[in-house]
Chains A and B, each alone.
Chain A
Amino acid sequence: MEDTDMNDMLMTRNSVGSEDIKISARHVQVFYGDTHAIKDVDVDINDKTVTAFIGPSGCGKSTFLRCLNRMNDTIDIARVEGEILLDGEDIYDKRVDPVQLRAKVGMVFQKPNPFPKSIYDNVAYGPKIHGLAKSKGELDEIVEKSLRRAALWDEAKDRLDQPGTGLSGGQQQRLCIARAVATNPEVLLMDEPCSALDPIATAQVEELIDELRENFSVVIVTHSMQQAARVSQKTAFFHLGNLVEFDDTTKIFSNPEDPRTESYITGRIG
């Protein structure tokens, strides 16, 4: 029947994603002191794919996201168990340098947090400390390329020496994305990147995410069901520290398996 394709139609452009596994998490548990924040989570994050994490406040989305680039190391009481492999390598191995890891697995936070420096320096900082540029010319190139990728170049090119904090909220968020992509990461983690943005800036960031997935694997935490449906190909639903359901976004938003998922995404009392 022609009617079959209704749901597909709504999300066709989201239907393609790579099948190669970029990050593989097994039996991941996170404790904050006595709080058991993540309970035995298994998940595979595909390469060149946008994966959305959704779930009610406090369910552990940010906690799990932070496991993927060891940001939880910076929290004293946090304890992470289980195994997380990036391209088959255990990222919690003693030989792995967390700073190097975070260059490969970049992060964009909920609130835009540019350094109190010029736009140029915000973007150039990472490549400088990781020694990615041999000359000023090369650094200029990286800065321009990153700002272009973050769709900020046209607005910023004439004011590169002005402070990043002088940009609008949406521009600041794109600056943070430029900063995150400047080190040429393989994975980009985004924790509610649009929650402080207006609809236009949100649309720009979403467009950017869609472009980024040509080169990166993107994981985004969002409270907007519509945003998850728009930008991601895979969606994971977390509830009370458990990964309840993980599937193609199309499936999750048209016909989820678990009643808890359906209750959550349709805005019902669970």
Chain B
Amino acid sequence: MPTSEHIVSSFDRDLEGIQGLIMRMGGLVEEAISDAAKALDTRDVELAQKVRAGDAAIDALDQTINEEAANIIARRQPIARDLRTVLTVFRISNNLERIGDYAKNIAKRSEAIIEHPPVEGTGASLRRMARQVELMLKDVLDAYIQQDADKAQDVRERDIEVDQMYSALFREYLTFMMEDPRNITTCMHLHFMAKNIERMGDHATSIAEQVMYLVTGELPDDERPKANAVPMA
């Protein structure tokens, strides 16, 4: 792999600049996941509001990244690995933006849940699941910066654990709802939140696949292992 510099050094600066924006966006999104789950667990309305407000910054970065990437295509006509770098920037930015939306949705539901009496243990278990996805995201962004396809593959394989956590939580909420109908509103919110986190895992996995494409020139062709999610109602 040529890691040497372009003869036109401003091209390198363009590419580095846009990858820097991705990392900045990734940092904000990791924080949003962590804060949203913490807000639920500690019943912190202020923190939930902060997450909701913070999504605007993530969206703005997504837009900046798209514009910058379009500029690079127009001005440099990148090919080969350079082209893959720009294409993956578009996709990864989009994945991050979606993860940010899910975090915002979790924060919004947290605010609604906090008005109701707590259901024992649910905040902590959802927070563990969020933590798992947050770590996947952190590792996949490391893999991106280090251009490490093996590390990306590792993240990709970890998504199955998130799927399993989601199934377990789904059954747990079902039990709470059957035990006491007063839990229904809270557990419905919790279920959507767990589903949101599960979708975040899918986006982290998609980023992992982009990293593999960037490094090797090919997307992984095997089907990703999938846990049997929900017993379909």
Contacts and interface: CB of A to CB of B under 8 A. Distances in A.
Interface of A: 1, 3-4, 6-7, 225-226, 229, 253-256, 259, 262-263, 265-270
Interface string B44-56: 0000000000000
Contact of A254 (B2, B8, B79, B209): B79
Contact of A255 (B11, B91, B218): B218
A266 B217 contact: no
A229 B79 contact: yes
B6 A267 contact: yes
Interface in B1-39: 1-2, 4-8, 11
Contact of A263 (B4, B79, B84): B4
How many interface residues does chain B have, given as a range?
A: 20 to 34
Contacts of B213: 3
B11 A267 contact: yes
B217 A255 contact: yes
B80 interface: yes
A254 B83 CA distance: 8
A-side interface mostly: helix
B219 A265 contact: no
30 contacts: A1-B209, A1-B219, A3-B219, A6-B87, A7-B83, A225-B77, A225-B79, A226-B77, A229-B79, A254-B79, A254-B83, A254-B84, A255-B80, A255-B217, A256-B80, A259-B1, A262-B1, A262-B80, A263-B4, A266-B80, A266-B81, A267-B6, A267-B7, A267-B8, A268-B2, A268-B6, A268-B7, A269-B7, A270-B2, A270-B4
Contacts of B87: 6
A227 B208 CA distance: 33
A253 B80 contact: yes
